[in-house]
Amino acid sequence: MATDKQSFYELYRQSSVGAALMDALDDLIMETRIDPQLAMKILANFDRAIAEVLQNQVRARLSFKGSLDTYRFCDEVWTFQLKNVTFKMDSGGQVVSADKVKIVSCTAKPTGT
């Protein structure tokens, strides 16, 4: 379990759920229903909660194949851009294809603040 001093990556804020949360918080701030400081605390809780749920409760696995277009390693973060990618669930699910995919990979335990 994470401590209060441990920081979490903000990667999932760009997901559809994270973007919807940020839009809702922006609306509440604009309507002066919450303070920006409260919105920042909510986002920090979102970062922590989604990281913990993905680590502890999600057991699904998938494999993928594609052509590596570019890659980069900067500030302990790997970024891979792939082309013509196919995804397949290990449980034998359907195959899903994508023209382009961007994968961002960070260390599992970010350093504290």
CATH of domain 62-106: 2.30.18.10
Alpha-carbon distance 82 to 29, whole Å?
38
**CATH 1.10.287.190 segments of the chain:** 11-56
Alpha-carbon distance 5 to 113, whole Å?
7
**CATH 2.30.18.10 segments of the chain:** 62-106
Task: Give this prediction's pTM.
Answer: 0.67
CATH of domain 11-56: 1.10.287.190
What's the pLDDT tens digit per position in 19-52?
A: 999 999 999 999 999 999 999 999 999 999 998 8
Q: What is the DSSP letter of 95?
A: E
